[in-house]
Amino acid sequence: MRTFAAQTRTAGLADPTKRPPPVTIGALIRDGMKMEVHCRKCAKYALLDPADIGITISTPVPSLAGRFRCTRCGSKETEARPHY
Ligand SMILES: [Zn+2]
Q: Residue range 24-42: average pLDDT?
A: 97
Give bridge partners of residue 46 from the DSSP assignment.
Answer: 37
- 37 sits in which H/E element: strand 34-39
What is the whole-number distance in angstroms between the Cα of residue 35 and the centre of ligand 1?
17
How far is the first Cα of the chain from the last one, in angstroms, to the nearest whole number? 48
What is the whole-number distance in angstroms between the Cα of residue 26 and the centre of ligand 1?
26
Please report the domains of the chain, with CATH numbers, ordered by start residue.
22-83 (2.20.28)
Residue 2 has pLDDT above 80, yes or no: no
pTM above 0.75? no
Q: Do the beta carbons of residue 70 and residue 44 sit within 8 Å? A: yes
Q: Report how far apart, in Å, the C-alpha atoms of 61 and of each of 18, 19, 22, 55 are.
A: 18, 15, 7, 10
What is the whole-number distance in angstroms between the Cα of residue 40 and the centre of ligand 1?
7
- 76 sits in which H/E element: none
Residue 25 has pLDDT above 70, yes or no: yes
Residue 4 has pLDDT above 90, yes or no: no
In the prediction, which pLDDT does 21 show?
80
What is the whole-number distance in angstroms between the Cα of residue 46 and the centre of ligand 1?
10
